Structure 1
């Protein structure tokens, strides 16, 4: 029985998958709290889809794919902010137009090149195929994002809840705004090899939503989100081995189950209080 339970840990690719999941769980869950509270969930979705043309163009130019993905993500974020600020169209509508347009552009570009890079690995990731280089890249990005968020969490919190007050007390609101967008792009780049473009949005929304349902205090949201994501990530990767399923969708499924449980718990508490 014990040998069966420990069987997945005998494979190097499974150990790499566990490490990758533990690494990307930290920045995605921390950012998720701010995205959920700020109402930027669609922004994460937009950037995650918009990196596709950057990846393809980087491949054509022969430069690292991660650079192309980051540049495309920032172009999406900046163009969305510009269009939303200079038109009567609401931001969520602008985001839908921008990310679908860039994603479509990326698909058209992809069909015009010859490569052994499978589109499924870009869209859904390949957690069981991550390399040591992928782990180092993700670890570096995760460390930078986590340090910045934890060091500036009070400034980001004030900017999230009341940007007018943040500007009134002398905070550099512009730097906070675009810094948050840059970290979202970097984090999506870090998750590409593991969960791909499409599933990255799940890691950027679900942890913050779950933490929001569990606690009303922002100071508790951050550790709860990280703990939930690490648990769901490791559980999902572990379960995928025995279910013979892809790790990334299994992780998202576990997060969804936890969200439903948290939602039911929150509603029961509200009814009891009433």
Structure 2
């Protein structure tokens, strides 16, 4: 009886359509962001991912005022932010991190200001922290369209993007259009940030775009394997976070990112080749061999 009651309790979330949508949509968003996080980690664009996640806020605010699609507004705002970063970098002596910090805080503050001055039916909490449990069929379709676009693009261009991320100078030397690849990766990142906005909100999108790739990098030395490990871990974290939040009655986005962080810490400690424990074992063996 006890086991049956426990199983009934654990299966309870699956009896609600909104929970099924949340877990399915979260897994789809997680897989997409996990795929892109591999390139973000390889390229060293963690701070840029943070900038993109915050820069979409004014786009959402303007779209809400105009009655247009939030995804379009967020995408345009993200692109304007990265183009602004590039423009300032080329025309000033400021370093990349300083430019990114100025631009993304300016965009984020502008979004908050617009929402406070021109109240709309969209809540600031929804933008900042997401609302995965309120994801609609239209949102799922949007995620699916973005996912298909990104997957097709990666299927065609992933080798060129890989060369560009590893060594832009080599990519330029073999005749690749580095500027086009740079812009393409920024567009894909903007699309992923738009997709993840509904799941975890602007404040936590950066975790979706960085943590899965960083975790996968600890678990394997081959980039091709990273492209499978990172989306899988991110999808499990998103679906699991939505599932756990049902029982804890807590923030779904927070639960997702906490699960991703737990996965990262476990990989950091126990990864067979790059983990802390493995590194200590190798050092101990080397000391013994040197005696």
TM-score (norm 1): 0.97
Q: Does 1:272 align with 2:281?
A: yes
Q: Provide the C-alpha distance between the structure 2 equivalents of 1:252 and 1:89, rounded to a whole number of angstroms.
A: 32
**Residue number in structure 1 paired with 2:233:** 228
Larger Rg: 2
Pairs aligned (count): 274
3-state SS, counterpart of residue 81 of structure 1: helix
3-state SS, counterpart of residue 265 of structure 2: helix
Q: Provide the C-alpha distance between the structure 1 equivalents of 2:157 and 2:178, rounded to a whole number of angstroms.
A: 12
C-alpha displacement of 1:61: 2.4
Q: Provide the C-alpha distance between the structure 1 equivalents of 2:266 and 2:190, rounded to a whole number of angstroms.
A: 30
**Residue number in structure 2 paired with 1:198:** 203
Q: Provide the C-alpha distance between the structure 2 equivalents of 1:231 and 1:193, rounded to a whole number of angstroms.
A: 17
- Asked if structure 1 preserves the Cα contact closer than 8 Å seen for 2:53 and 2:203, the reply is yes
3-state SS, counterpart of residue 198 of structure 1: coil
In the TM superposition, 1:5-24 aligns within 5 A as 5-24=10-29
Structure 2 stretches lacking a partner, 5+ long: 1-5, 284-291
In the TM superposition, 1:1-274 aligns within 5 A as 1-265=6-270, 266-274=275-283
Q: Deviations over 1:164-189 (max 9, x none)?
A: 10011111111110000001111111
- Asked if structure 1 preserves the Cα contact closer than 8 Å seen for 2:40 and 2:210, the reply is yes
Q: Provide the C-alpha distance between the structure 2 equivalents of 1:151 and 1:31, rounded to a whole number of angstroms.
A: 15
Q: RMSD over aligned Cα, in angstroms?
A: 1.1
C-alpha displacement of 1:60: 2.2
User: 11-20 or 141-150, which moves further after superposition?
Assistant: 141-150
C-alpha displacement of 1:267: 1.1
TM-score (norm 2): 0.91
Q: Deviations over 1:211-248 (max 9, x none)?
A: 11111111111111011111211221111111111211
Q: Provide the C-alpha distance between the structure 1 equivalents of 2:65 and 2:11, rounded to a whole number of angstroms.
A: 43
Structure 1 stretches lacking a partner, 5+ long: none
- Asked if structure 1 preserves the Cα contact closer than 8 Å seen for 2:26 and 2:235, the reply is yes
